[in-house]
């Protein structure tokens, strides 16, 4: 949590009802406002950020995240718009992994693989909410039961969203278990910093603080080797347009249908550091992402195809949003060389990511 905030910080947090699930559960919405024109709306279903309003260079606040106006649309079909992802973000090959010689089998919900926690992951459950007014934060909690979606151990998860007056939205994750398990939590917001959801994101200028990325096979599972970004379209060490090289002939771009890869972030020491940025020159909006995680997945909305309704009366067309998902590497439970995602009883999983907005 941001220690700079005091009791007097005028972050206002208002609560209303967003909707009722098809099982009859009430879903609350919390609107957090700061004194600099930022407004974040978060619902208890999936911990989803349904809207994130940020000022442009003319000080006009507009929504910069993809999502829906209606809960029923989230329940019907969503490519994880704005959601918390768990218990394991990204893919696990064939949904199988072993802990201490015992094999566990998860649902294959993405071709042959397990993706983003399964059929009913953390993005589709209703979280308990507590407003922490003194620090301008919303605390969400969820107990994922032993063997839920096939994962061992009762996992107590807490996610704290904190808004600050310097236009930072911080996401703090904490989890404990009573049996050895695997954990990899992330936030799946799709950004379009233009504020216009009919515009593709190809003109956003992106940088990623990574010298290497993780090549994948035809099913988007890491081959196990890390590759230097130098002389590849995956080099974002100097800022460049997302669209600059997205359509060039490259086997990895073909497999991802664009960018849908995890980068190996520099300076891996668990401390918060700069990981990536995105700048949309017309609006002037700049997003900078800081994180304690070792990796970041850049996904460029390659599966958006104009079938899902947007919040502005149209639909979400191809590449009208991009995600920067901080995380451990895909398929870590099956890749011995990758940083471990195992959580043991008595240990505390903790992870932090900040999304900082400004004008450039
Ligand atoms: C992740 C995956 C993508 C895709 C999206 C949701 O970012 O890496 O392949 O599944 O989620 O559509």
Asked if residue 219 has its Cβ within 6 Å of ligand 1, the reply is no
**Distance between Cα 132 and ligand 1 center (Å):** 32
Reported pTM: 0.97
- Structure token digits, residue 119: 């059929």
Q: Which residues are catalytic?
A: 188, 325
Asked if residue 189 has its Cβ within 6 Å of ligand 1, the reply is no
Neighbouring C-beta atoms of residue 331, cutoff 10 Å: 25
**Helix intervals (H) in the chain:** 71-76, 251-256
CA pair distance 129, 228, nearest whole angstrom: 42
Asked if residue 252 has its Cβ within 6 Å of ligand 1, the reply is no
Res 282: pLDDT:
98
Smallest CA separation from ligand 1 atom 6, residue: 79
Residue pair 64/191 in contact by the 8 Å Cβ criterion: yes
CA pair distance 10, 357, nearest whole angstrom: 18
Asked if residue 293 has its Cβ within 6 Å of ligand 1, the reply is no
Asked if residue 280 has its Cβ within 6 Å of ligand 1, the reply is no
Residues in the chain: 360
Res 2: pLDDT:
44
- Structure token digits, residue 347: 């240990």
Residue pair 222/330 in contact by the 8 Å Cβ criterion: yes
CA pair distance 11, 31, nearest whole angstrom: 10
Res 10: pLDDT:
83
Smallest CA separation from ligand 1 atom 7, residue: 299
Q: Which of 91, 260, 297, 298 to mutate to test the pocket of ligand 1 (most atoms within 8 A of CB)?
A: 260
CA pair distance 66, 314, nearest whole angstrom: 12
Cis omega (within 30 of 0) for bond into 321: no
Give the number of the atom of ligand 1 that is nearest the alpha carbon of residue 115: 10
Residue pair 91/58 in contact by the 8 Å Cβ criterion: no
Phi, psi of 155 (to 5 degrees): -110, 115
CA pair distance 34, 52, nearest whole angstrom: 12
CA pair distance 302, 319, nearest whole angstrom: 6
**Distance between Cα 34 and ligand 1 center (Å):** 31
Residues of the chain with pLDDT under 50: 1-7
**Distance between Cα 299 and ligand 1 center (Å):** 7
CA pair distance 64, 81, nearest whole angstrom: 12
pLDDT digits (tens, 9 = 90+) for 45-94: 999 999 999 999 999 999 999 999 999 999 999 999 999 999 999 999 99
Asked if residue 303 has its Cβ within 6 Å of ligand 1, the reply is yes
Neighbouring C-beta atoms of residue 239, cutoff 10 Å: 13
Smallest CA separation from ligand 1 atom 12, residue: 79
Asked if residue 260 has its Cβ within 6 Å of ligand 1, the reply is yes
């Amino acid at each position: 949590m941001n220690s700079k905030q005091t009791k007097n910080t005028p972050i206002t947090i208002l609560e209303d009802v967003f909707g009722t699930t098809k099982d009859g559960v009430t879903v609350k919405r919390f609107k957090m406002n700061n004194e600099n024109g930022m407004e974040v709306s978060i619902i208890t279903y999936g911990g989803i950020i349904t809207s994130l309003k940020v000022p442009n260079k003319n000080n006009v606040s507009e929504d910069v995240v993809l999502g829906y106006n209606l809960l029923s649309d989230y329940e019907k079909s969503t490519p994880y718009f704005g959601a918390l992802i768990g218990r394991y973000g990204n893919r696990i090959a064939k949904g199988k992994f072993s802990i201490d010689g015992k094999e566990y089998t998860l649902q294959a919900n993405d071709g042959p693989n397990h993706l983003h926690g399964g059929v009913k992951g953390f993005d589709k459950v209703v979280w308990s909410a507590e407003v922490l007014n003194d620090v301008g934060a919303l605390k969400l909690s969820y107990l994922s039961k032993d063997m839920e979606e096939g994962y061992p151990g009762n996992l107590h998860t807490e996610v704290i969203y904190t808004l600050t007056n310097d236009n930072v939205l911080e996401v703090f994750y904490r989890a404990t278990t009573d049996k050895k398990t695997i954990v990899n939590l992330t936030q799946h917001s799709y950004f379009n910093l233009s504020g216009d959801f009919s515009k593709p994101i190809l003109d956003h200028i992106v940088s990623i603080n990574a010298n290497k990325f993780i090549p994948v096979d035809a099913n988007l599972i890491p081959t196990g080797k890390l590759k230097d970004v130098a002389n590849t379209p995956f080099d974002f060490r100097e800022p460049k347009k997302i669209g600059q090289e997205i359509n060039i002939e490259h086997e990895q771009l073909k497999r991802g249908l664009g960018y849908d890869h995890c980068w190996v972030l520099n300076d891996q020491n668990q401390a918060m550091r700069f990981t990536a940025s995105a700048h949309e020159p017309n609006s002037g909006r700049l997003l900078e992402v800081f994180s304690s995680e070792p990796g970041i997945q850049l996904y460029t909305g390659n599966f958006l195809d104009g079938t899902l309704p947007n919040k502005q009366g149209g639909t979400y067309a191809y590449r009208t949003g991009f995600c920067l998902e901080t995380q451990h590497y895909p398929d870590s439970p099956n890749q011995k060389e990758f940083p471990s995602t195992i959580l043991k009883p008595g240990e505390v999983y903790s992870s932090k990511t900040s999304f900082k907005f400004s004008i450039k």
